[in-house]
Amino acid sequence: MQFTTYILATFALISAALATPVGGLVERDLLQCGSQQYDPKNYTCYADDNNLLCPISNGVIFQPCGPACFDPANYTCINGQLAPVGNCNGQVFDKNSYVCVNNHLCPVGFPNLCGEACYSLSQYHCVNGQLVQN
């Protein structure tokens, strides 16, 4: 009988200890995003995008693009497709369409710079900052 009382008392102590917050433990205020719970300090819910949860990483709020989330400093979303972006002299650009040459944007098909003009080596060459047709 004493053993049973000891077990019950131990169980009661452990239960009470587990029910009491320890140290700095704090219950999180979770929100609902569709059928998922999330911590709004770490995620953003995009209800208009099928309740997509996107992370918040180092203060950057990731954006939705179709079923994916992206860092807006590295990508853009065009018609539901991700496109890599770069920065050229402070101007953001699509890396699939442009290249940055000496802080000047040139189309991918004309990746060379002569003065202020972009050109293709198959059509032109540059002489003293002037384009000369091949």
pLDDT tens for each residue of 79-97: 988 988 888 998 888 888 9
pLDDT value of residue 96: 86
User: Is 123 a member of any domain?
Assistant: yes
User: Is 47 a member of any domain?
Assistant: no
pTM listed for this prediction: 0.55
DSSP state letters, 16-44: HHHHSPPTT------EEETTEEE-TTTEE
User: Is 103 a member of any domain?
Assistant: yes
Select from 108, 129, 110 the least CA-distant residue to 121: 110
In the predicted model, is pLDDT for residue 100 greater than 70?
yes
Where in the sequence is the domain holding 130, given as residue range(s)? 97-134
* Higher per-residue pLDDT: 111 or 92: 111
pLDDT value of residue 112: 94
Per-residue confidence band for 108, with pLDDT thresholds at 50, 70 and 90:
very high
How many angstroms separate the Cα of 98 from the Cα of each of 109, 111, 124, 130? 8, 8, 19, 22
**Look-up: residue for tokens 């091949």?**
134
User: Is 115 a member of any domain?
Assistant: yes
In the predicted model, is pLDDT for residue 66 greater than 80?
yes
- Domain tally, the chain: 1
In angstroms, the CA 85 to CA 51 distance is: 26
